[in-house]
Amino acid sequence: MTRIFTEGAEMQDTVFWSGFYQVVTIGNTTPFASSYYYHYGYDIGSWKNFTAISECYARVRLRVKSHHLGHTFISFRLSSTTVAYIAEDALNRWIANVTTVGVVGTSVGVIILNSWYLLEVYFKEANAPNGRFVLSVDGNIVIDYTGDTQPAADTTFDNVYFRSASTNDSFDIDDLALNDTAGAVDNSWCGDGVVIRVPPDEDGTSPGNWTGSDADSTDNWLMVDEYPSDGDTTYVYHDATVTGHQEQFHVTSPSMTGKTILRVWPEVRARKTGAVANTLKLGLLGSAGDDMSAGRVVSIGSYTRIVGNDYKANPADAGTWLEADINAQEIIIETAA
């Protein structure tokens, strides 16, 4: 595993998160470069779980709306126990805090309200002298600590947590990413990045295997093009026990002027209505045919976030993504064993 997650709130829902202290909301007032972000108002918290690791590179785009010593801009936790976190001090400077040690680094510069910042964090949980805690703001390292970052006997963390304090207009976050340090790629700094949504705009090359909520298989893209999801008002469905049946959707053609496409992935919201073991595959259809993920587990009852493979290169030719490649792309959903 390398890139653990990438997320940008563009689906306008909160199903990315593993849990909440109180539910975060979606904002769209003066975003950085996409359309939506997560807004943390009065005393809000949310976390994202993953398989436990001891070292990572994290990215979050942050806009502070009001100063407060109780804000946690990003923390690394083991279950509900905080290992380390980034916050601000009484002089509105960035601080890095290791729970059992205290503040281990303070920036020189201060946080300016209502300004978007790109925060990148490298955190390695280990006893001194092997622990590291580094904060980069807009590409400049402002905190670089080497020493003890390991609380008690715990050696790993398994979620990142964001928590606003008791003030009505706290902060906004966007363009989240997390890398571990395994593998040959995505094993270091996440770098600058903006997540944009490329929705369906018509049926694909081979539509018709799935049925729309309007009881036919014509113009199924109209059943899945709403953001945020309208739940069971419009949708497409298929018998999960009949495997290998696909639905394909052509996607819109966004302008990529001034942008470099670093990765593409298919993403849907899906749920099961019965207790069957079958899964869902997601893929892309390019000029060289379909490229599908392994089967993804789908939850029963509630719609969840289902994500396909992460494509850093165009699977059709293994080349760098171009605007024309996106314009020709289709997303595929397939029933799987």
Over residues 124-136, the pLDDT tens digits come to 999 999 999 999 9
* Alpha-carbon gap, residue 217 to 201, rounded angstroms: 15
pLDDT at 287: 67
| Mean pLDDT (whole number) for 151-179 | 95
Q: Just give the CATH number of 3-179.
A: 2.60.120.200
Over residues 240-286, the pLDDT tens digits come to 999 999 999 999 988 999 999 999 999 999 999 999 999 999 999 87
Q: Which two tokens stand for residue 152?
A: 């008690």
Site of tokens 């966004």: 254
The answer to whether residue 120 scores a pLDDT higher than 90 is yes
Over residues 299-329, the pLDDT tens digits come to 999 999 999 999 999 998 889 999 999 988 9
The answer to whether residue 336 scores a pLDDT higher than 90 is yes
Torsion of CA 145, 155, 158, 90, to 10 degrees: -30
pLDDT at 289: 78
Over residues 58-103, the pLDDT tens digits come to 999 999 999 999 999 999 999 999 999 999 999 999 999 999 999 9
Q: Which residues contact 52 (CB under 8 A, 6 or more apart)?
A: 78, 156, 157, 158
| Mean pLDDT (whole number) for 176-205 | 95
168-to-17, 40, 64, 65 alpha-carbon distances in Å: 21, 9, 12, 9
pLDDT class for 208, splitting at 50, 70, 90?
confident
**What is the percent of the chain where pLDDT is above 70?**
99
- Domains of the chain by residue range: 3-179, 200-336
Q: Which two tokens stand for residue 6?
A: 């990438």
Q: How high is the mean pLDDT of the chain?
A: 95
Burial of 261 per CB tally in 10 Å (0-12, 13-18, 19+): middle
* Alpha-carbon gap, residue 189 to 316, rounded angstroms: 27
pLDDT at 1: 62
